[in-house]
């Protein structure tokens, strides 16, 4: 493979600048989601028994149905609960798909940026094949961001509903269950916003990659015929 011809010029043009922004915002997209940890707590008031507090912890990938309230509710309120109580729902597929798209986008955008900075002469001199492949990949990532962001936005609504659900078998005055604390989910809202921001960036990038293809370039002037 030919030696690279490093030139920072493409990084100051929309073609390279948007790639850098795509990588930057992809990091925020999967970091705000993958690093989230939360919990929900309830205060129990049982007739004839001391008050107790229980909580359930949840985190990425949001398999809520394995988040169990502790200490075990089966030992509280005169054994009102016959079995352990879990949160409801499994949203791991949407969360993992979102993170997969974000990480893949980061790797592709960084690889494309290095190609522009070091091998722009080969990129533009490959008969239009590399720009065309780049355009197809960029359009594919745009579609993946649309699907992943929409799926995760819907899953987040369901995660919030799962956390907001009341404890079962709470029948005042024998058993009173009061929510005492819930971890704010602002970071998860931000992850959805970064998902759709990445969608906009990848859609915008399609135009600048398209300009590098033979579909946009004017045809080469013909050779004048000999008189």
Look at residue 24 in the predicted model and tell me its pLDDT.
95
- Specify the pTM: 0.88
Look at residue 227 in the predicted model and tell me its pLDDT.
41
Residue 129 burial class via C-beta count within 10 angstroms: exposed 0-12, middle 13-18, buried 19 and up: exposed
- CA distance from start to end of the chain: 44
Q: Which residues contact 80 (CB under 8 A, 6 or more apart)?
A: 46, 73, 169, 174, 175
Indicate whether 196 belongs to any domain.
yes
Look at residue 43 in the predicted model and tell me its pLDDT.
93
Is the predicted pLDDT of residue 220 greater than 80, yes or no?
no
Indicate whether 216 belongs to any domain.
no
Cα–Cα distance, 154 to 91 (Å, whole number): 10
Is the predicted pLDDT of residue 225 greater than 70, yes or no?
no
By residue range, what is the domain housing residue 49?
Answer: 9-210
Indicate whether 2 belongs to any domain.
no
Cβ–Cβ contacts within 10 Å for residue 146, how many?
A: 17
pLDDT digits (tens, 9 = 90+) for 98-152: 999 999 999 999 999 999 998 888 888 867 789 999 999 999 999 999 999 999 9
Indicate whether 224 belongs to any domain.
no
Helix axis angle, 186-210 to 92-124, nearest 10°? 30
Indicate whether 221 belongs to any domain.
no
Query: How many domains does the chain contain in total?
Result: 1
pLDDT digits (tens, 9 = 90+) for 149-204: 999 999 999 999 999 999 998 888 889 999 999 999 999 999 999 999 999 999 99
Indicate whether 215 belongs to any domain.
no
Starting at the edge strand found earlier in the chain, the sheet holding 52-59 runs 52-59, 37-46, 175-182
Rounded mean pLDDT, 31-44: 94
Indicate whether 226 belongs to any domain.
no
Look at residue 1 in the predicted model and tell me its pLDDT.
52
């Amino acid at each position: 493979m030919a030696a690279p011809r490093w030139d920072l010029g493409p990084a100051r043009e929309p073609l390279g600048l948007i790639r850098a922004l795509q990588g930057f915002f992809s990091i925020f997209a999967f970091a705000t989601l993958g690093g989230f940890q939360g919990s929900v707590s309830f205060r129990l008031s049982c007739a004839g028994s001391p008050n107790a507090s229980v909580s359930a912890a949840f985190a990425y990938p949001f398999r809520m149905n394995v988040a169990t309230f502790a200490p075990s509710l089966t030992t509280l309120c005169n054994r009102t609960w016959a079995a352990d109580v879990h949160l409801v729902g499994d949203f791991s597929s949407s969360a993992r798909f979102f993170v997969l798209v974000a990480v893949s986008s980061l790797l592709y955008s960084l690889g494309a940026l290095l190609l522009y900075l070091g091998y722009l002469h080969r990129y533009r001199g490959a008969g239009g094949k590399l720009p065309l492949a780049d355009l197809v990949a960029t359009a594919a990532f745009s579609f993946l961001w649309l699907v992943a962001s929409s799926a995760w936005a819907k899953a987040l609504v369901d995660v919030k509903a799962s956390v907001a659900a009341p404890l079962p078998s709470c029948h005042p005055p024998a058993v009173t269950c009061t929510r005492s604390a819930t971890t704010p989910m602002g970071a998860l809202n931000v992850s959805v916003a970064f998902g759709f921001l990445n969608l906009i960036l990848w859609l915008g990038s399609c135009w600048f990659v398209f300009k590098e293809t033979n579909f946009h370039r004017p045809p080469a002037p013909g050779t004048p015929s000999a008189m």
